[in-house]
A = this chain, B = another copy of it.
Amino acid sequence: MNLKIAVLGGDGIGPEVLAQSIKCLRAVEETFHHHFTFTEGDIGAVAMEKYGKPLPEATTALCRASDSILFGTIGTLKYDENPSAKVRPEQGLLQLRQELELFANIRPVKVFPTLVNKSPLKKHVIFGTDFIIYRELTGGIYFGEKKLSKDGTLASDLCEYSEKEISRIAHFAFKAAKNRRKKLTLVDKANVLETSRLWRKVVSKIGESYPEVQLEYLFVDNAAMQMMLHPNHFDVILTDNMFGDILSDQGSAICGTKGLLPSASIGNDHAMFEPFHGSYPQAEGKNIANPVASILSTAMMLSHFGLHEESRSVVTAVDKSMRKQIVTQDLNVSSKYGTNEVGDFIAANIIDSE
């Protein structure tokens, strides 16, 4: 397969973890005889310094012309310490998602057996936890009309959803469930919210086209409870923007470390893959950042393009790095391996097992 890949390293540790992802994709390319081209683009604080804005047109154009986007991280200490700055690096990412209509945010949560000790949850509770959250990303209360009365004493936010917004991500989630353990949990608050009742109506209707997928409904408060008590209950979770924001962050805590979690933001025409963690500016250039989340996001990318065996080869190599303790210091304080060495090891262990 030929793939044109846009590489947006961004700020902080973004470029250095992305460099490891590219090593791994080069190894996949060679092992499985594909052809990947990588083109770099600026985004975030680094773009603000060069062009005065966090998302230059050239970057948007590059992304539009690419098959896939690999994204690093965004944000620097300068802006973290000044939360009221009008133009902010993060806006580059939000704007890009909006422009490319990346309406589905996908967050897998899986506990590596060798890292059970990192989880805040007891071993028997997390045993077998392996779920994936489909969060609607461009609608709902975060994007609805906001009002503040003139005297500043009354504020409001409008949560709106249309059938179209719900159905396009629902199809993604059902397809994912079909390829997994065939269970979809719609999380909403349909006993109270009108938008939730629309989600339920649309999703249950779409469910009829996926008879092999078991569809269940869970109120969001109960879902937050179950994610703590029985995280292994879930397979695919489908939910709106705000509930998804809360639950995917709660879910990420299950692993006890953010350094391992990949994510994807997908639309009908474009797809972007990124580590879940932040830009960690304190670690920039020190060869200590954990590259695994970024590398696992390339596994998500490969699956997205139907390259399932290739994807598995990346995950297997990551697994091996954990078992052999070729990990960064966030996972093992006495480790002597850095970002580069972990990336090298994983790339070197990408093999065609067939």
Counting every copy of the chain, the complex holds: 2
Q: Is B157 touching A194 in the complex (CB atoms < 8 A)?
A: yes
List chain B residues, Cβ under 8 A from A176: none
Q: Does A22 contact B (CB under 8 A)?
A: no
The smallest C-beta distance from A117 to any residue of chain B, in angstroms, reads 9
Residues 55-77 of A at the B interface (beta carbon under 8 Å)? none
Number of chain A residues whose Cβ lies closer than 8 Å to a Cβ of chain B:
54
Q: From residue 212 to 235 of chain A, which have CB atoms closer than 8 A to chain B? A: 220-222, 224-229
**Known contacts A224-B250, A228-B228, A250-B224; A156/B158 CB under 8 A:** yes
- CB-CB under 8 A from A180, the residues of chain B are none
Give complex CA distance A154, B163 in Å: 6
Query: Does A211 belong to the interface (CB within 8 Å)?
Result: no
Residues of B within 8 A of A148 (CB): 194, 197-198
A155 contact set on B, CB distance < 8 A: 160-161, 194-195, 197-198
Interface: A144 (CB within 8 A): yes
Distance between A325 CB and nearest chain B CB, rounded to angstroms: 22
9-residue interface stretch from A11-19, A26-34, A39-47, A120-128: A120-128
Q: Is A168 among interface residues, defined by CB-CB distance under 8 A?
A: no
Known: A120-B229, A121-B121, A246-B221. A154 touches B147 (CB 8 A): no
- Measured CB to CB, the nearest residue on chain B to A257 is B229
> Roughly how many angstroms separate A256 CA and B144 CA in the complex, as a whole number?
37
